[in-house]
């Protein structure tokens, strides 16, 4: 008679095999069969809840005592089936998927498999008293997978939103530095904590900007705000797309996403360069790179999407150019003042 623990070990192999099949299928990214329906969120949620239920059954049975061989086989078969059905659904979502969606699907599937394997490892190693936590991890992985994107439009749109939020954070940080610097400059209070020997501030707050640096930061802030508006435009435009599944359409949006990520990275570099003491070369380099990145994104927008947004695109291009020129002017004035 095969033991329940040995049955759990066999199930681990089956789960890992199913995971390997999914990985191989996603990497090949085959096209969907004509007429085949893409999976829905409702289908995904149904399978997610089913897998959570099967994991709970396994955790409950092994948590109380060791089930019989027949009971173990039945419980593990239910877990394997739900796991396989979930991965099959994610595989269906991967048909004709671009790199962003494929990565999203793999990122959703891998933690679910890992959590299920961890649960079964506790069972196979006779750690029955420890199954509550692994069961909870299966639930957590399932809940995370339940929110995964199932189409290119959603996957790319979410990435653009995430990038937009990071740029918005940069704007907030620069605004805070400017506000605090203006406040400290107006108060003109010397640091006296060390002189009085008590209440020493160990927070190591950032050094306030000089008046000339504040002007440079404000000019650069306008450029970063223009970047945020470009990213917001991309989010609005992708929402108007009926479907992002054709090879050309996917390539267009993957390219725009790539350049958008670069914009966010350079925006972060520029925001960091604006902290005191400012290094002119760093600010100039980041500003030039950000202008170039904006131009690349605006140029990458395909004609089919560009035409309805012509006025907005021209306005954004003008704002980027003006903001770039303003930063360079402020830096020149500040440096000439220092040289005097």
Q: What is the pLDDT of residues 120-147, one digit of tens each?
A: 998 887 665 678 899 999 999 999 999 9
**What tokens were used for 225?**
């705000």
**What tokens were used for 177?**
């530095």
pLDDT at residue 333, as a whole number = 61
Furthest-apart CA pair in the chain: how many Å?
92
pLDDT at residue 174, as a whole number = 95
Tens digits of per-residue pLDDT, 2-35?
566 778 888 989 999 988 888 888 877 555 444 4
pLDDT at residue 202, as a whole number = 40
pLDDT at residue 304, as a whole number = 87
Q: What is the DSSP string of 277-305?
A: SP-HHHHHHHHHHHHHHHHHHHHHS-HHH
Q: Is the pLDDT of residue 37 over 80?
A: no
- Mean pLDDT on 37-51: 93
The backbone region for 139, taken as left when phi is positive above 0, alpha when psi lies in -120 to 50, beta otherwise, is alpha
Q: What is the DSSP string of 155-210?
A: HHHHHHHHHHHHHHHHHHHHHHHHHHHHHHHHHTPPP-HHHHTSS---S-PPPPPP
Q: What is the CA radius of gyration of the chain?
A: 28
Count Cβ atoms below 10 Å from residue 243 Cβ, excluding itself: 10
* Residue with tokens 């972060």, as numbered in its chain: 268
pLDDT at residue 187, as a whole number = 64
- Is 108 within 8 Å of 89 (Cβ atoms)? no
pLDDT at residue 232, as a whole number = 96
- Is 231 within 8 Å of 263 (Cβ atoms)? yes
Tens digits of per-residue pLDDT, 193-222?
434 444 444 444 668 899 889 999 999 999
Sequence-separated (6 or more) residues with CB below 8 Å from residue 179 = none
Tens digits of per-residue pLDDT, 258-294?
999 999 999 999 999 999 999 999 999 999 999 999 9
Sequence-separated (6 or more) residues with CB below 8 Å from residue 27 = 102
**What tokens were used for 226?**
């223009």
Q: How far apart (Å, rounded) are the C-alpha atoms in residues 191 and 193?
A: 6
Q: How far apart (Å, rounded) are the C-alpha atoms in residues 74 and 112?
A: 20
pLDDT at residue 189, as a whole number = 52
- Is 274 within 8 Å of 216 (Cβ atoms)? yes
pLDDT at residue 126, as a whole number = 67
Tens digits of per-residue pLDDT, 151-191?
999 999 999 999 999 999 999 999 999 999 988 876 665 54
**What tokens were used for 169?**
């954070």
Q: Is 336 exposed, middle or buried (0-12, 13-18, 19+ CB in 10 A)?
A: exposed
pLDDT at residue 262, as a whole number = 95
Q: Is 182 exposed, middle or buried (0-12, 13-18, 19+ CB in 10 A)?
A: middle
pLDDT at residue 193, as a whole number = 44
Q: How far apart (Å, rounded) are the C-alpha atoms in residues 269 and 287?
A: 9
Tens digits of per-residue pLDDT, 61-91?
887 777 788 888 999 999 999 999 999 999 9
């Amino acid at each position: 008679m095969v033991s329940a623990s040995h049955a759990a070990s066999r199930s681990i192999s089956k789960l890992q095999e199913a995971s390997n099949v999914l990985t191989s299928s996603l990497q090949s990214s085959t096209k969907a069969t004509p007429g085949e329906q893409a999976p829905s969120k409702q289908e995904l949620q149904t399978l997610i809840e089913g897998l959570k239920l099967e994991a709970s059954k396994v955790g409950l049975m092994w948590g109380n005592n060791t089930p019989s061989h027949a009971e173990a086989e039945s419980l593990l078969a239910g877990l394997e089936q739900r796991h396989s059905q979930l991965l099959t659904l994610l595989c269906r979502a991967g048909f004709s998927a671009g790199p962003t969606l494929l990565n999203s699907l793999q990122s959703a599937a891998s933690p679910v498999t890992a959590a299920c394997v961890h649960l079964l490892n506790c069972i196979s190693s006779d750690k029955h008293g420890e199954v509550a936590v692994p069961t909870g991890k299966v639930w957590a992985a399932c809940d995370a997978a339940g929110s995964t994107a199932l189409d290119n439009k959603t996957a790319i749109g979410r990435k653009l939103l995430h990038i937009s939020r990071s740029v918005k954070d940069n704007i907030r940080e620069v605004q805070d530095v400017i506000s605090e610097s203006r406040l400290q400059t107006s108060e003109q209070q010397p640091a006296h904590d060390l002189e009085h020997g008590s209440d020493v501030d160990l927070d190591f707050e950032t050094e306030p900007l000089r008046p000339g640096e504040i002007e440079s930061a404000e000019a650069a802030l306008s450029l970063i705000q223009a970047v945020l508006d470009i990213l917001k435009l991309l989010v609005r435009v992708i929402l108007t797309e009926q479907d992002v599944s054709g090879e050309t359409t996917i390539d267009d949006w993957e390219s725009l996403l790539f350049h958008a990520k670069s914009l966010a990275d350079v925006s972060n570099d520029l925001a960091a360069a604006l902290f005191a003491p400012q290094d002119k070369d760093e600010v100039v380099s980041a500003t030039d790179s950000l202008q170039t990145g904006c131009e690349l994104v605006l140029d990458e927008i395909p004609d089919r999407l560009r035409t309805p947004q012509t006025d907005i695109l021209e306005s954004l291009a003008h704002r980027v150019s003006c903001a770039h020129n303003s930063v360079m002017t402020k830096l020149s004035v500040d440096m000439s003042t220092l040289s005097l």
